[in-house]
Structure 1
Amino acid sequence: MQASDRKRNTKVMYAGVARTHILPSSIGRLTLDRIRPSHVEGWVVELRRKGLAESTIRSAYTILRAVLDTAVRDGALGANPAAAIRRPRVTAKEAPYLTPAQVAELLRAAEGSRYAPLFALLVHTGLRRGEALGLQWSDVDLAHGILRVRGTLSRVDGELVVTEPKTAKSKRFVPISEPAERLLRAQQEAQAEERRHAASAWRQTGFVFTTEAGEPCDPRNAFRALRVAAAKAGLPQAGLHTLRHSAASVMLTRGVPLKVVSEILGHSSIAITGDIYGHVSPDVARQAMSTLGDAFDR
């Protein structure tokens, strides 16, 4: 695990899954040479009976298979028993999103919160929560209207750290719209005022979104603030990722090509964008067919 090139927070998550769902389970009590494909299948059924999320079950299977692959590599096993069974599936779910009117209501409900500018930026850029919180002023070019996504802020082992983005394509440049430029300039001014007020207590970290003392904002606090605003707006199901999904849905329904939306969102492939936002495609398809009909019905 330590030699893996996966992100640090991914390693921590995998270690937690292994401790919780592999080691104390029926399969965790078997020696390597006794594990058979039927044992792996039984273990997966065991996890399902516990009511675990499909994604958690697949992660547990992925970890187990990787462990057994290592055993095969080192000569402790002749073949990987987990490779003989089908990888647990994860049912594709439509991404929840808000209408522009609902987004406006949510942002109004968030007014007064120090996280309101963060919420607005997520809507206007489609950034992930960690990408926006990991944004530094050196990544923002207001003169040319563009920002650069280089990392993700997250809490790992109790410490706030900026890690590598989710995928290679997550490292990207995102254009800044006029509303996004206005809110970033307002954020600059607000932060400068807090810096003057904090005086020597201010810590210069360079982050766009900071605490009153200049420290990076904890993603958990941003989540809590969003939940408060969402409840106030009568949108209890809305989360931080909902704002990203809402940005994507608006772009797609307004005719922005799927490939362009995929690049803005930083997805590893256009297929992923299509899978997540398939519920938007019918509207776009109808518009396309209307355009086709208008062109030939003359």
Structure 2
Amino acid sequence: MARRANGEGSIFKRKDGTWSAELSYRDNHGTLKRRTVYGKTQAEVRAKFRDARERIESGAPIKDASMTVAAWLEDWITKSLAASDRKQATKDLYATLARTHLVPTIGTIALGRLRPSDVEALVVTKRGAGLSGSTIRTIYTVLRSALEIAARDGLLRSNPAAAVKRPSVERKDAPHLTAEQAQALLEAIRGDRLETLFRLMLATGLRRGEALALHWSDIHLDAGLLRVRWTLSRTSQGLRLDEPKTDKSRRTVPLPRSAIETLRAHRTRQLEEQRMTAGAWQEHGLVFTTEIGTPLEPRNVLRRFEVLAERAGLRGVTLHTLRHSAASFLLAAGTHTKVVQEHLGHSSYAITADIYSHVGPAQQREAADRLDQALRW
């Protein structure tokens, strides 16, 4: 029997030449437990023994779970993720990313054997596959969230993903329309049933879900204002109206005069549509609806917009381009970035300033020109 150091149990050399040590402890219920650790050398056993003792003293599990990462992810999806207060659309996204990107790559690794280097290798693999920086960051977020619950439940001593730096996202100028392109788009959507929707998004910078969730009770045409209180999205449970994700997203947006006139005309047409389909009309109080008053399917709206954008000669343009364009026009007109932040519902000034930094040089040039005009040099 080897001599033991302070805080260690007895370390024995076995008949086959290996070493072992027995550890006694009480679990969270006060039950006496024993665990034996083994190693090829006395030093290896001593290290394992100390690790086990540290785990007990810190409240961590004495041994990491042997289940696979894939098995844990499925358990996390059906329990902790489902029970979280995240929006249903976010739950659906996280579940899809876990099953599509995490299970096929690191799913076979035992949960207790997952290391920070495995997480880093995952990031490298996804970059090599050509995924965008934002997608890779979200995949990392999903993994870290799932492993955090595993550590909380005592299946892991610590979260290996927490030791890995969050993947960076390369900043790119927000794609936006020039004034000439915006004019071409306005001509292309003229007369379309969704014309008012697209015009309003370009005029206000509303997100797609925010625009589709607008109720007439949210719009005050005489005051020229609209309130953003809801967002509409397609989830695994169908179309859902949810509150915006952040407090900043709940906001009041001023309406340009042209948008007010467009909405008045739209309201008149909708009332006529309602009268013509009185027997089938389903009243939801929504500003933008199908021919029978039901909410519009977000994917169908996007498809229709892409067709109209192609008609205008614009490729690679999405509904979110309208939001970026609205912000760019406001900034180019001299609107303060703080005002644009509140207009768009960004959670911070820094986000707005970073996304629309491309507008800065033009504003600086205009400022320099105004200074040149203001003084006699």
Category of TM-score, reference length = shorter chain: over 0.9
Query: C-alpha separation between the residues in 2 aligned to 1:169 and 1:229?
Result: 31
Query: C-alpha separation between the residues in 2 aligned to 1:21 and 1:192?
Result: 47
C-alpha displacement of 1:151: 1.2
Are residues 1:146 and 2:233 paired? no
Tell me the matched-pair count.
297
Q: Which has the higher helix share?
A: 1
**Partner in structure 2 of residue 249 of structure 1:** 328
Corresponding letter in the other structure for 2:197? L
Identify unmatched segments of 5+ residues in structure 1.
none
**Partner in structure 2 of residue 194 of structure 1:** 273
Query: C-alpha separation between the residues in 1 aligned to 2:255 and 2:334?
Result: 19
**Partner in structure 1 of residue 49 of structure 2:** none
The question of whether the paired residues in 2 share the 8 Å contact of 1:133 and 1:216 is answered with yes
SS in 2 for 1:168: coil
C-alpha displacement of 1:158: 5.7
Query: C-alpha separation between the residues in 2 aligned to 1:36 and 1:128?
Result: 39
The root-mean-square deviation of aligned C-alpha atoms, in Å, is: 1.4
Corresponding letter in the other structure for 2:86? R
Query: C-alpha separation between the residues in 2 aligned to 1:118 and 1:62?
Result: 34
**Partner in structure 2 of residue 8 of structure 1:** 88
Corresponding letter in the other structure for 1:95? A
The question of whether the paired residues in 2 share the 8 Å contact of 1:170 and 1:267 is answered with yes
TM-score, normalised with respect to structure 1: 0.95
1:139-187: CA deviation from partner (whole Å, max 9, x where unpaired): 0111211110011111111611112214220100001121111011011
**Partner in structure 1 of residue 188 of structure 2:** 109
Are residues 1:266 and 2:345 paired? yes
Q: Which one is further off, 122-131 or 287-296?
A: 287-296
1:174-212: CA deviation from partner (whole Å, max 9, x where unpaired): 011211110110110010010011011000011000111
SS in 2 for 1:153: strand
C-alpha displacement of 1:48: 2.1
Are residues 1:97 and 2:173 paired? no
**Partner in structure 2 of residue 162 of structure 1:** 241
The question of whether the paired residues in 2 share the 8 Å contact of 1:113 and 1:225 is answered with no
Corresponding letter in the other structure for 1:56? T
**Partner in structure 1 of residue 136 of structure 2:** 57
SS in 2 for 1:23: helix
1:51-73: CA deviation from partner (whole Å, max 9, x where unpaired): 22222211111111111111222
Are residues 1:77 and 2:178 paired? no
Are residues 1:125 and 2:204 paired? yes
Query: C-alpha separation between the residues in 1 aligned to 2:174 and 2:354?
Result: 9
Q: Which one is further off, 72-81 or 267-276?
A: 72-81
1:198-255: CA deviation from partner (whole Å, max 9, x where unpaired): 0110000110001110011111121111111111111122211111111111110110
**Partner in structure 2 of residue 31 of structure 1:** 110
Q: Percent identity?
A: 54
1:19-48: CA deviation from partner (whole Å, max 9, x where unpaired): 1111222x2212221111111112222222
**Partner in structure 1 of residue 37 of structure 2:** none
Query: C-alpha separation between the residues in 2 aligned to 1:286 and 1:167?
Result: 35
Query: C-alpha separation between the residues in 1 aligned to 2:241 and 2:255?
Result: 22
1:106-149: CA deviation from partner (whole Å, max 9, x where unpaired): 12111222111111001111111111111000101112111100
Identify unmatched segments of 5+ residues in structure 2.
1-80
Corresponding letter in the other structure for 1:232? R
Query: C-alpha separation between the residues in 1 aligned to 2:234 and 2:124?
Result: 32
Query: C-alpha separation between the residues in 2 aligned to 1:258 and 1:212?
Result: 39
Query: C-alpha separation between the residues in 1 aligned to 2:218 and 2:296?
Result: 17
SS in 1 for 2:227: strand
Corresponding letter in the other structure for 1:2? A
TM-score, normalised with respect to structure 2: 0.76
**Partner in structure 2 of residue 216 of structure 1:** 295
Q: Compare CA radii of gyration and give the structure with the larger one.
A: 2
Query: C-alpha separation between the residues in 2 aligned to 1:103 and 1:158?
Result: 36
Corresponding letter in the other structure for 2:345? G
